[in-house]
Amino acid sequence: MDDQLNDEALIKEVLQGRKEAFATLVNRYKNRVYGLLRGMGAQKQDAQDLTQEAFIKAYRSLSSHQTGRSFSSWLYTIATNLLRDSWRRKQADPSYEHNLSVVEPMKCPETVYLQLEKKLEIHDILLGLSQHHRLVLLLRYTNDLSYEEIGIILDVPVSKVQNDLHRAKKKLKQLLKDKEVSVHEMLER
Same domain? 3 vs 78: yes
- Cβ atoms within 10 Å of 57's Cβ, excluding its own: 16
Same domain? 63 vs 138: no
Q: Are 60 and 19 in contact (CB under 8 A)?
A: no
Q: Are 24 and 10 in contact (CB under 8 A)?
A: yes
Q: What three-state secondary structure class fits 12?
A: helix
Same domain? 35 vs 83: yes
Q: Are 154 and 73 in contact (CB under 8 A)?
A: yes
Q: pTM of this prediction?
A: 0.56
pLDDT of 22 reads 94
Same domain? 52 vs 131: no
Q: Are 54 and 42 in contact (CB under 8 A)?
A: no
Q: What is the DSSP string of 169-188?
A: HHHHHHHHHHHT--HHHHH-
Give the range of the structural domain holding residue 135, as residue numbers without chain letter: 127-189
Query: Per-residue confidence of the chain (189 residues) as pLDDT tens digits?
Result: 456 559 999 999 999 999 899 999 999 999 989 988 876 678 889 999 999 999 999 999 999 988 877 888 889 889 988 988 898 887 765 554 444 444 445 567 777 777 777 777 776 777 788 878 887 887 888 767 789 878 877 778 999 999 999 999 999 888 878 776 555 565 554
Same domain? 88 vs 131: no
Q: Find the CATH number of the domain harbouring 156.
A: 1.10.10.10
- Cβ atoms within 10 Å of 103's Cβ, excluding its own: 10
